Structure 1
Amino acid sequence: MSLLDGAGRDAVAAAVKRAEAGTDGEIVTVLAERSDAYHDVALHYPVAAVLAVTAIAAIHPPLLMVGDTGWGDWQLEQGLFALLVAQTVTFLVVRFALAWMPLRLKLTPRATKARRVRRQAVRAFRLGADRRTKAHEAVLLYLSLDEHLAEIVTDSAIHRRVPNEAWGEAMAALVDEVRAGRPAAGLIAAVDRIGTVLAEHVPRTEMDVNELPDRLIEL
């Protein structure tokens, strides 16, 4: 299933073509539904819940004392069985709840999501842009929809010439539109600003050729 409709994809491709008209740099746009399944998160919370149940049982034992002589065998067996049942039920309930991806993403720390998005952006750059241009002047714009996070990854020549701060406006414009439910508009706005930065630092020369596709890549 496509993440954008045909009009949206065409508009992003047109924005890339327009932005590249003033620069020797190449812009690659990548759109992903999400950057990770976060299976580890879906396990961490159930395990933490089980440990919490165990801690509560240790603080407030659900077992019955027999006189002053300590635990009776029957009470101990019943108590351990009840604890095991509580642990199992807790694990399954939390695990099945986290099968719902919106909840799993909600409970995933933002720093974790940022690392996963960055990792996937770098991977996409290596596959689709790294060393694909003669002058190493490619810029990849990566947007992960479910995380509402984006990354800009640049080739070596761009990295040397353009400070990281220069991409701030592009990132802000993109994320604002995505949060408003307009990913295509966000990509277009970001591409326009990336083109402005590239035109300043890597202006177009007579040697410029279109080395990478303008179309939006959807993952």
Structure 2
Amino acid sequence: MQGKKLISPQDHKRITAAIRRAEEGTSGEIYAVLARSSDDYFFAAGFIATCGILIAAVLVAFLAHWYWFDIRLPVFGLAILAAFVAAMLVLWFFPAIRIAIVPHRIRYKRAHLNAVQQFLARNVHKTVNRTGILLFVSLAEHYAEVIADAGINQHVKQEEWNTIVGTLTQHASRREVAEGFVVAIDQAGTLLARHFPAGSENLNELDDHLIEL
């Protein structure tokens, strides 16, 4: 996704330094991704809006019949069409409305899917000892996740990852995204160093910088 950067160049350097510092003490690899949004939600929001229009049309038809109010079928059909077109235009020109009407469950599923796609696309799963982790934040959904490769997950409890996720979400809610990544990376480095200390050959297998989507 193109456009203005979410994080300043100075903060990008801080995050890069934090990753390098964290990886000095571990054979694990840390990768960081920040997304504005994990979906544009136009079709999901459009489906919800369309269902709402159809339900409203049925209610109007029922009330018109109940109160003996005559609505000509062509007029009724055109009114439904006009409502549909208006709703699509609003959703097209005001993206914030889309995500506001999409249920949290759908948003979180889309954000989780994006995190998994980034984990695979960035080859975090291809480190030699399967010790890569992804720190992922999607701002529009207020969503954060840590995805760890198989070599790590069998040694680290979910509660420990949840602590890092909490760090990312709390800082993001205060518009301190860069600081959240720096703190979370330090926490991840400490956790990885405990389970996977650096060896004699501490290879750097993944890029040490934040990716913005």
Q: Which residue of 1 aligns with 2:72?
A: 79
From 5, 9, 17, give the equivalent of 1:6: 9
Q: Is the 8 A contact 1:28 1:129 kept in 2?
A: no
Question: The residue matched to 1:161 in structure 2 has which SS?
Answer: coil
Write the distance in 1 (CA, Å) between the matches of 2:163 and 2:22.
15
From 77, 88, 91, give the equivalent of 2:81: 88
From 179, 193, 200, give the equivalent of 1:199: 193
Q: Which residue of 2 aligns with 1:108?
A: 102
Amino acid of the residue matched to residue 140 of structure 1? L
Detail structure 1 runs of 4+ shifted over 6 Å in the superposition.
62-65
| Structure 1 unaligned residues grouped into runs of 5+ | 66-70
Q: Structure 1, residues 145-166: CA drift from partner, whole Å, max 9, x if none? A: 2112111111110111112221
Once the two structures are TM-superposed, the CA of residue 32 in structure 1 deviates from its matched residue by 1.2
Write the distance in 2 (CA, Å) between the matches of 1:114 and 1:46.
20
Write the distance in 2 (CA, Å) between the matches of 1:157 and 1:196.
17
Shift in CA distance, 63/83, structure 1 to aligned 2, threshold 3 Å: farther
Which of structures 1 and 2 has the bigger CA Rg? 1
Write the distance in 1 (CA, Å) between the matches of 2:166 and 2:66.
57
Q: Which residue of 2 aligns with 1:68?
A: none
From 175, 186, 189, give the equivalent of 2:180: 186
Task: Give the structure-2-normalised TM-score.
Answer: 0.90
Q: Is the 8 A contact 1:49 1:90 kept in 2?
A: no
**Greater alpha carbon shift after TM alignment, 4-13 vs 127-136:** 127-136
Once the two structures are TM-superposed, the CA of residue 80 in structure 1 deviates from its matched residue by 0.5
Question: The residue matched to 1:34 in structure 2 has which SS?
Answer: coil
Once the two structures are TM-superposed, the CA of residue 138 in structure 1 deviates from its matched residue by 0.3
Q: Which residue of 2 aligns with 1:58?
A: 61
Q: Which residue of 1 aligns with 2:91?
A: 98
1:13-162 pair list within 5 angstroms: 13-61=16-64, 79-99=72-92, 100-162=94-156
Shift in CA distance, 64/24, structure 1 to aligned 2, threshold 3 Å: closer
Q: Structure 1, residues 94-115: CA drift from partner, whole Å, max 9, x if none? A: 2222221111111111111111
Q: Is the 8 A contact 2:45 2:101 kept in 1?
A: no
Question: The residue matched to 1:60 in structure 2 has which SS?
Answer: helix
Once the two structures are TM-superposed, the CA of residue 64 in structure 1 deviates from its matched residue by 9.5
- Identity, % of aligned pairs? 30
Write the distance in 2 (CA, Å) between the matches of 1:64 and 1:211.
72
Q: How big is the alpha-carbon RMSD for the aligned residues of Structure 1 and Structure 2? A: 2.0
Write the distance in 2 (CA, Å) between the matches of 1:44 and 1:189.
39
Q: Structure 1, residues 126-172: CA drift from partner, whole Å, max 9, x if none? A: 11134431111100111112112111111110111112221111111
Task: Give the structure-1-normalised TM-score.
Answer: 0.88
Question: The residue matched to 1:206 in structure 2 has which SS?
Answer: coil
Number of aligned pairs? 209
Question: The residue matched to 1:151 in structure 2 has which SS?
Answer: strand
